[in-house]
Chain A
Amino acid sequence: MAGTEAIGHGDAEAHDAPRRDFLKILTLSTGAVAIGAVAWPFIDALNPTREGEAAARPIINVGGIAENTAIRVDWLGQPIYIRKLTTKQIADNQFVVPESLPDPADFSARVKPGYDSFVVVVGLNTGIACELEGNNPSDPRGPFDGWLCPCDGSVYDPLGRVRSGPAHKNLAIPRFTFLNDTQLQLG
């Protein structure tokens, strides 16, 4: 096209070609890095804040829970029950044949290996949503010494498995990990 010829003359232009290519690559790569560096804050701002992350992954002290009782923790709007089993409760429930239950689940599926005296469940009845009773030894617990639903009378064992009642699903187990013998992190 008229007038678009590069400013430069013959040999000098051929001589400059690699130099120009180098400058082009340099400009484009610097530009790409710059765009990435500017774009990252915009994207990272969409991530959860550190406060939000910390609130979503609370660390719970379970060292103070007495045997045969459970504590209640509010986590993301759900009541979480953390219960410490007695040796008798473990012995009673360890060898129950899963197929004999309404929602078959064996002992190892309800506790973490190495921490089998702790049961962590969402404390809501799986039939009609209703908070369960039975955290304190003095609460009504039903025939299996677990939890009882005050609304529809569903019965759960200490592992949170449904034994009878309108509900036909075991209590949900939230995502959690044991940090050590006395600390547990939800989320």
Chain B
Amino acid sequence: MNQEKRVEEFSLEALRAGNKAEFARLVEAYSGVIYRLALKVVEDPQDAEDVLQETFIKAYRALPNFDGRSSLSTWLYRIATNEALMTLRRRKSASVANTISIEEPSPNEDNEQEPIQIVDWCCLPETEMMSAEARAYMEKAIETLSPALRTVFLLRDIEGLSTQETAEVLNVSEVVVKTRLSRARMRLRELLSEYFGERAARRSTPEGENS
């Protein structure tokens, strides 16, 4: 998964000076990860495209003042995550007047979830776990997480950022990152166990072998 981590081989000097060729290289290198993240946070291709464009427009404008304290990738992820969360906030305020902050976990996510599904489904063949239907279910499962938990999970487990990098992107402490990651993972584990557990049970009964 770290194959996606890019070596930072950009000339900060050229980027700060507004060199277009260098900026195009940066766009080429990071647009894929930024788009993937945006798509999973906002769950809509048009909104994700807007987030992608806004991210690089803002980055280009801000580059002359980029101080290099965080890495370029962390910095880009931060702009993109803020854009994506802002999109969700706008969408929410456009639909209903809702005062719940999207940056905080919802109240029922506040406590550590106790495992309810204790089913061993790890024996299922990978082809079954990675079927189109299973993938669609997994996507839906992510969507049930609050934006606060979802962004931490995506940055840590999909984008492969470290706890420290994720904390920098979201401007929260490392303890908060770990707590949210734990809640997100435990919640997803619960949902996947529900889904795959049923399939594992079907497999182990003789009737299930024919279906």
Q: Tell me whether A and B are bound partners.
A: no
